[in-house]
């Protein structure tokens, strides 16, 4: 885990990579190119609207957590654009170091944290100070998982477009609150 941490980047570096990939992607065959603009817009919206919640800081304090937060993500991901900025800003404000590991640079990390056999992101890895893994979370809060389950159980009555729309409305209104609460509960 220490090697992954050392090869991870800060949230600001993550934003710079997102901008670069959107405006002038060095990979001309990037299969996710069409998603960078939307991902960047949503990420910037989350950055602008997220405010550190004092209640969350109070919930975190008695945990006495001395580790780090390692996020597996990519800037094109819709779930990540709503979660990664809020989680990064919250834990940084709490004095906990946060780094982001780009999933597609080395799949060996995400392959250790599959979600129902898939490489879904973001994944939040809670790392103790000795780099052992305490817990992991992701790729979305329980409410988002419930929406996905509803879609998968009956896509005829709850089509993909409705699922995506409902999920983005939830993310815009929730502003990372549920994700942070769920992660704090794992500490």
pLDDT in tens, the chain (187 residues): 999 999 999 999 999 999 999 998 888 888 888 888 889 999 999 999 999 999 999 999 999 999 999 999 999 999 999 999 999 999 999 999 999 999 999 999 999 999 999 999 999 999 999 999 999 999 999 999 999 999 999 999 999 999 999 999 999 999 999 999 999 999 9
- Tokens (6 digits) for 95: 């004095």
Which of 140, 135, 126 is closest to 91 using CA atoms?
126
pLDDT tens for 14-24 read 999 999 999 98
pLDDT of residue 60: 97
Please work out, in degrees rounded to the nearest 5, the angle formed at the alpha carbon of residue 11 by the alpha carbons of 44 and 72: 105
Contacts with 70 (C-beta within 8 Å, 6 or more apart), sequence order: 1, 4, 5, 8, 98, 99, 100, 101, 124, 125, 127
**Which 3 state secondary structure label does DSSP give 73?**
strand
pLDDT of residue 155: 95
Q: CA dihedral in degrees (104, 168, 43, 91; nearest 10)?
A: -90
- Is 2-139+179-186 a domain of CATH 3.40.1160.10? no
Which of 185, 177, 183 is closest to 82 using CA atoms?
177
How far is it, in rounded angstroms, from Cα 51 to Cα 134?
26
CA 90 vs CA 21, 103, 119: distances in Å: 26, 22, 25
Model's pTM, two decimal places? Answer: 0.94
């Amino acid at each position: 885990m220490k090697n992954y941490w050392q090869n991870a980047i800060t949230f600001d570096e993550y934003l710079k990579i997102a901008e670069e990939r959107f405006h002038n992607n060095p990979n001309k065959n990037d299969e996710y190119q069409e998603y960078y603009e939307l991902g960047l817009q949503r990420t910037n919206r989350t950055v602008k609207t997220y405010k550190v919640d004092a209640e969350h800081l109070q919930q975190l304090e008695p945990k006495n957590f001395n580790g780090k937060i390692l996020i597996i993500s990519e800037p094109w991901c819709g779930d990540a654009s709503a979660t990664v900025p809020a989680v990064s800003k919250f834990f940084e404000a709490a004095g906990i170091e946060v780094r982001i590991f780009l999933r597609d640079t080395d799949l060996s990390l995400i392959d250790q944290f599959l979600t129902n056999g898939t490489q879904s992101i973001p994944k939040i890895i809670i790392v103790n100070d000795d780099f052992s893994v305490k817990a992991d979370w992701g790729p979305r809060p329980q409410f988002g998982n419930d929406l996905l389950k509803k879609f998968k159980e009956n896509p005829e009555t709850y089509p993909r477009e409705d699922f995506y729309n409902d999920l983005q409305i939830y993310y815009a209104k929730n502003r990372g609150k549920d994700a942070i609460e769920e992660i704090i509960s794992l500490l």
